[in-house]
Amino acid sequence: MRTSLSYPELQQKFCEGFSFFPFSDLEQHGRFIYKCYAGEQNLKGILDNYDFEYNLNGQMLLLMLQQKNIPSAAALLLHLEEVSSLLRERRYGGKAEIYEQLLDATQTFGGILLLYQRDVQQNIEKQLSDPELLPDKGAVSVNARSIKHIQVVITEFMSSTDIMNDFLDGLINNNPIAGTFELPKTEVVIIMDLSRKLLQFKSLMGKTRYILKQWETQIIQLHQQQTMN
């Protein structure tokens, strides 16, 4: 059975056992167990660098989630609900089918964003805040092996944002459904504002994906270091 633990996590588990059953010729430094094969080696410095670099990207991601991503998602969800409430009122007037379609698209994207916030953002934030915490059932887990998968999930969500924005743009600019009907200026302003907020949130997701890519690259580089344990 393949373990989902990262290399530092495995080292930490080994250290817990090493405290009770130490091996001769092995030394412990922090979360690492190692053996010196030469008189003068800077293994402690290498291990400190490994631990620092590995956790640095995780801390950057945690801060971005807490200070930017999660609050921005909450604000966007609130804005989508406000737009939906307005559309529910407008659909009883002329060209109700246009408002119905816009309402359906807004609510569908809101549902996607809600799942993304709950199963991705909030669960990753919980796991980074408390490494001992297991992910909720069906939620995304964060460890050395799952970083690439999280990048894929973010990319898929960004694609959903593009689809929503294309729909909004088409509704304003010669949407066949609208025919000769022109949306009132107030609705046009609201839709353009929603589109702007979606693009801002997509840009934030792109920055998050970049941090994850940097973390993935750092893990690969650190794993290539010739340290023996």
Q: Could you tell me if residue 164 is inside a domain?
A: yes
Q: How many domains does the chain have?
A: 1
Six-digit token string for 119: 């199963």
Cα(152)–Cα(148) distance, integer angstroms: 6
Q: What is the mean pLDDT of residues 155-162?
A: 95
Q: Could you tell me if residue 38 is inside a domain?
A: no
Q: Could you tell me if residue 213 is inside a domain?
A: yes
Q: Is the pTM of this model over 0.95?
A: no
Q: Could you tell me if residue 111 is inside a domain?
A: yes
Q: What is the mean pLDDT of the chain?
A: 76
Six-digit token string for 152: 């894929």
Q: Could you tell me if residue 3 is inside a domain?
A: no
Cα(112)–Cα(80) distance, integer angstroms: 12
Of 68-72, 122-126, 161-165, give the lowest mean pLDDT range: 122-126
Q: pLDDT value at position 83? A: 94
Q: Checking phi first, is residue 25 left (phi over 0); if not, alpha (psi -120 to 50) or beta?
A: left
Q: Could you tell me if residue 202 is inside a domain?
A: yes
* Domain span at 167: 60-223
Q: What is the mean pLDDT of residues 84-90?
A: 85
The model's pLDDT over 122-140, given as tens digits with 9 standing for 90+, comes to 988 888 887 665 556 656 6
Q: What is the mean pLDDT of residues 98-121?
A: 92
Q: Could you tell me if residue 229 is inside a domain?
A: no
Q: What is the mean pLDDT of residues 113-124?
A: 92
Looking at per-residue pLDDT, the higher value among 108 and 10 belongs to 108
Does residue 7 have a pLDDT over 80?
A: no
Angle between helices 96-116 and 147-172 (to 10 degrees): 170
Q: pLDDT value at position 3? A: 46
Does residue 117 have a pLDDT over 80?
A: yes
Q: Could you tell me if residue 7 is inside a domain?
A: no
127 neighbors 136 (Cβ within 8 angstroms):
no
